Amino acid sequence: MEKIPILRMGEFLLVTIQVDMHDRLAIALQDDLTNRISQTGARGVLIDISSLEIVDSFIGRMIGNIAAMSRVLDAETVVVGMQPAVAITLVELGMSLPGVKTALNVDAGMELLRQSVNDNKEAEYGSRI
């Protein structure tokens, strides 16, 4: 069975979705990712969906769920590179994915992750850092 690779990069995890998501793949990704976050203690997750061209309400909900689960495990999630057609579809489906951070590309996404992780650290340790 095909699997979506999860790459570790420092304290972040990278997920690039390069195949058409079907439901079982999305559930597998959700399992894998939550396991990896707890194993590695990652502080941030970057999900690149720039190759994703077709979404339905289920996949939309999965993206939202994955972001929410990561947050529970204390890792910020940024979704990057959403295609215009995908964005329009999700909006028309009434899924605005509140609480999910988004960025235009991987570059901007990494910057956003670093920033929010730094903010979190500052909040945790006060002004000592």
Binding residues (CB under 8 A) for another protein: these are 79-84, 86-88, 90-92, 96-97, 102-105, 108-109
CB of 104 to another protein, least distance (A): 4
Mapping DSSP to helix (H, G, I), strand (E, B) and coil, where does residue 43 land? coil
Minimum CB separation of residue 53 from another protein in Å reads 13
Q: Which is nearer to another protein, 70 or 102 (CB)?
A: 102
Phi first, then psi, for residue 46 (nearest 5°) are: -115, 120
Least distance CB 46 / another protein (angstroms):
12
Quote the strand ranges of 10-115, DSSP E: 12-16, 44-48, 76-80, 101-103
Ranges of H-type helices in 73-105: 84-92
Identity of the residue, 43 or 109, whose beta carbon is nearer to another protein in the bound complex:
109
